[in-house]
């Protein structure tokens, strides 16, 4: 089976203020790099519109309505210091949810071995009742619940290698042992969560890195804490919260990874998906704010997903 790619032009219409790091150009560089001949095998699909009812898998109705009601007719509205919405933001967010859920359906129903979703806004900072950190709805959490509700998945593992801790995903699954959440991230750094001592119901595994850490420290954290936890958990599905802002070029953090590290981590998670989950692996774009670093990293990530 092939690797599937979801994206949509509406993701470019979620607008942020001038100079904001989470900008439409992020998807434009991903589109360009994936036009290379080596990605000719990608099964490219338009992200479908999501069912708003699935957002309630991870958020209360009050959160959904608050986001809907915040959308301006024109211009930009700030929800907090970092998070902005524009007239097309809800439409973009609902297609991001739709793509994440479609990706899960694809791997369970045999239409793809693995799927990469190139969407924005991202999701992993969205807590159960609060949009934050550029995020409106928690795409990874909704997708994990979709796997459980639609396909009877008993255990879903979410591996988050964004350089910022996914406080939202941790918040949503804090007491739910059917979902394993593992994260490598820089500490101290926004949003201030992600200590090793934060373990939830025994299903939260944080592997914080320090400013200046690079490949050696990242790979050691992944091998000893993250991969070991995923292997022990034996998930029916692996979801990657694939942020690429731990790349050494990224302006928002101080971790010194290269695209080779993301290639390596992707391969290791594919091995675990093959061992436990019938190869079912879904990757959802999160951060990554240096355009060259993002393009190189996504290319390495998706190339590894294609070749296995």
Q: Mapped to the 3 state alphabet, what secondary structure does the chain carry?
A: CCEEEEECHHHHHCCCCCCCCCCCHHHHHHHHHCCCHHHCCCEEEECCCCCHHHHCCCCCHHHHHHHHHHCCCCCCEECCCCCEECCCHHHHHHHHHHHHHHHHHHHHHCCCCEEEECCCCCCCCCECCECECCECCCHHHHHHHHHHHHHCCCCEEEEECCCCCCHHHHHHCCCCCCEEEEEEEECCCCCCCCCCCCCCCCCEEEEEECCCCEHHHHHHHHHHHHHHHHHHHCCCEEEEEECCCCECCCCCCCCEECHHHHHHHHHHHHHHHHHHCCCCEEEEECCCCCHHHHHHHHHHHHHHHHHC
Residues annotated as catalytic are 125
Residue with tokens 């675990």: 272
Are 216 and 250 spatial neighbours (Cβ–Cβ below 8 Å)?
Answer: no
């Amino acid at each position: 089976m092939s690797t599937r790619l979801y994206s949509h032009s509406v993701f470019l219409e979620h607008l942020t203020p001038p100079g904001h790091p989470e900008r439409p150009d992020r998807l434009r560089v991903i589109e360009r790099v994936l036009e290379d001949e080596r990605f000719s095998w990608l099964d490219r699909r338009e992200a479908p519109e999501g069912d708003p009812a699935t957002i309630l898998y991870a958020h209360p109705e009050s959160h959904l309505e608050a986001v809907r009601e915040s959308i301006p007719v024109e211009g930009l509205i700030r929800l907090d210091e970092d998070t902005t919405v524009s007239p097309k933001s809800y439409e973009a967010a609902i297609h991001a949810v739709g793509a994440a859920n479609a990706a899960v359906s694809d791997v369970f129903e045999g239409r793809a071995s693995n799927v990469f979703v190139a969407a924005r806004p991202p999701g992993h900072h969205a807590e159960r009742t609060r949009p934050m950190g550029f995020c409106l709805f928690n795409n990874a959490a909704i997708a994990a619940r979709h796997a459980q509700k639609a396909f009877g998945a008993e255990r879903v593992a979410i591996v988050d290698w964004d350089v910022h801790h996914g406080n939202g995903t941790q918040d949503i699954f804090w007491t739910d042992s059917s979902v394993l959440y593992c994260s490598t991230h820089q500490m101290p750094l926004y949003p201030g969560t992600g200590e090793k001592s934060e373990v939830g119901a025994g299903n939260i595994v944080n592997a914080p890195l320090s400013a200046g850490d690079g490949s050696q420290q990242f790979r050691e954290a992944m091998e000893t804490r993250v991969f070991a936890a995923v292997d022990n958990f034996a998930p029916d599905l692996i979801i990657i919260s694939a942020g690429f802002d731990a790349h050494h070029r990224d302006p928002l953090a101080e971790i010194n990874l290269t695209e080779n590290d993301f290639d390596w981590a992707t391969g290791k998670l594919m091995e675990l998906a093959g061992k436990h989950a019938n190869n079912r692996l879904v990757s959802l774009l999160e951060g990554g704010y240096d355009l060259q670093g993002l393009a190189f990293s996504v290319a390495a990530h998706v190339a590894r997903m294609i070749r296995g």
